Structure formats: structure tokens, C-alpha cells
């Protein structure tokens, strides 16, 4: 549905260079609407650094205008944006709803936006009683996640003073894959880092396999029927 909405605004979208519907949604979700304090104002949006947005400073005014149209369309179509919902619910909690959780564990935190994370942590009875787990190399829903940005949120007051004292531990041991699979993953990650750089310092490391099995990695011919071999490879892990 978002792609269809973008088609209605294709003339403006063309003015944003190579940006397609998916990239625009990433900008809406991961940049403009991601902050715990609510969507960015145009002034704050324009002051972001070059690595905090997909767009140039000149293009952001158009994107911000599209975001306002997007919000109006959501209301007309009776649809919801998860960031906007999270901000609204978090505001209601701050206004007096009693937090309900003693402890929270969040896995795949790299797929949450800051406002979504802030909503979950607002439900804690005792700030600081949480564990966040994730991997910035496994982002499914692009949102400009980085561990450095997450730590900055805590220094800005997310989860109270206790959030600033939370330690960050790096897990560098792989308990899931064989040594061959882990080695290939490290080689691909090294190529990626050489070409594009690291997301942040905490993501600039390789993994050590703890498996006793050497394992093997195979390439399959794209023209052959891969259904049965793929099943066997998947079962081998």
C-alpha cells in the first residue's frame, strides 16, 4: 500500500534522485519518525549529519513535506505507523499509566527504532532492569541502527540514570555454525567492511567458531533444482 501511495507522489519522488518507495519508507521509519520525542521537525531534520540520513540537505525539505502527507494519508486510510503508535503510547504511559514489567529482555534489538525501544523500556517498574541483544550485521528492517547511537540514547536519558550505567558486552564466539561457515562469514564481512566501512566500533570484529566440526560450504548451480540439496544443507547447519 505504501508503494501505491508513493506512486501518487511520483513527481515529487523523482526529485529525490534514485530514491524508491522502499528507501523512502526507510527514511520515514529510521530517520524522521524514529526519535523517542516524536517525529523530527524540519529544522532538526535539516541539521542531521550526512551519515544520519539517505538524503542530502537540499532533498530533506521535500522528504519532510512528503512525511506530512504520509501522516495525513494514514489518518484518511485508517492505517497506523508503528513509530507514531509507539510515541503516542509512550506519551500516555508518561502521563500516568503504571509500568507493568519487572524485567525485560529484547532480542534482535537492531530491528527496533529508538521510539519503539523507548516504549518498551517505559513499561519497566525499575529503570535499568533490562537486557538488549542484537547484531548490527543482521538488520532486517533498515533503521540506521548502531550501538553507538543506542548508547547516545541512554546518555540522553532513555531508561533514566540507570540506563547510562548499563555495560555493553560483545559476544565473539559462534555456537551455531561449523568452522567453515564461520570462516566464510568472516571473509564476507571483511569484504563488506573494506568496501562500505563498519556500522560502528562495536561491529568491527570477526567471530570465532566454537564448533568441533570442520563442516563445508558448497555453491549450487543456479540452473539446477536446488530444493532437495538445499534441504540437506539446511539440516547439516
Q: Any idea where the domains of the chain sit in the sequence? A: 2-79, 92-163, 173-236
Q: Which helix (H) or strand (E) holds 179?
A: helix 179-196
Distances (CA, A) of 132 to 51, 105, 109: 24, 6, 6
- List, for residues 96-144, the tens digit of each pLDDT value: 778 889 999 999 999 999 999 999 998 999 888 999 999 888 888 778 8
Q: How far is CA 49 from the centre of its chain?
A: 18
Flag the least confident range among 18-32, 66-80, 90-104.
Answer: 90-104
Please, which pLDDT band fits residue 233 given cuts at 50, 70 and 90?
Answer: very low
Residue 26, exposed/middle/buried by CB under 10 A (0-12, 13-18, 19+)? middle
Backbone angles phi, psi at 180, to 5 degrees: -65, -40
The dihedral of CA 145, 148, 149, 154: what is its sign? positive
Amino acid at each position: 500500500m505504501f508503494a501505491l501511495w508513493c506512486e501518487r507522489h511520483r513527481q515529487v519522488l523523482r526529485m529525490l534522485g534514485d530514491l524508491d518507495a522502499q528507501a523512502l519508507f526507510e527514511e520515514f521509519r529510521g530517520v524522521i519518525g524514529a526519535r523517542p520525542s516524536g517525529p523530527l521537525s524540519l529544522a532538526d531534520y535539516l541539521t542531521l549529519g550526512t551519515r544520519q540520513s539517505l538524503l542530502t540537505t537540499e532533498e530533506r525539505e521535500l522528504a519532510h513535506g512528503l512525511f506530512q502527507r504520509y501522516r495525513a494519508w494514514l489518518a484518511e486510510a485508517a492505517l497506523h505507523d508503528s513509530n507514531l503508535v509507539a510515541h503516542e503510547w509512550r506519551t500516555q504511559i508518561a502521563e500516568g499509566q503504571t509500568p507493568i514489567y519487572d524485567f525485560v529482555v529484547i532480542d534482535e534489538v537492531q530491528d527496533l527504532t529508538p521510539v519503539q525501544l523507548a516504549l518498551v523500556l517505559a513499561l519497566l517498574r525499575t529503570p535499568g532492569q533490562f537486557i538488549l541483544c542484537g547484531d548490527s550485521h543482521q538488520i532486517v528492517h533498515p533503521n540506521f541502527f548502531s550501538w553507538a547511537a543506542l548508547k547516545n540514547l541512554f546518555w540522553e536519558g532513555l531508561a533514566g540514570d540507570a540506563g547510562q550505567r548499563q555495560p555493553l558486552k560483545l559476544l565473539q564466539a559462534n555456537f551455531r555454525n561449523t568452522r567453515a561457515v564461520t570462516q566464510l562469514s568472516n571473509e564476507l564481512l571483511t569484504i563488506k567492511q573494506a568496501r562500505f566501512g563498519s556500522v560502528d566500533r562495536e561491529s568491527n570484529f570477526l567471530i570465532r567458531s566454537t564448533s568441533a566440526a570442520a563442516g563445508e560450504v558448497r555453491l549450487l548451480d543456479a540452473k539446477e533444482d536446488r530444493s532437495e540439496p538445499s534441504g540437506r544443507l539446511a539440516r547439516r547447519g
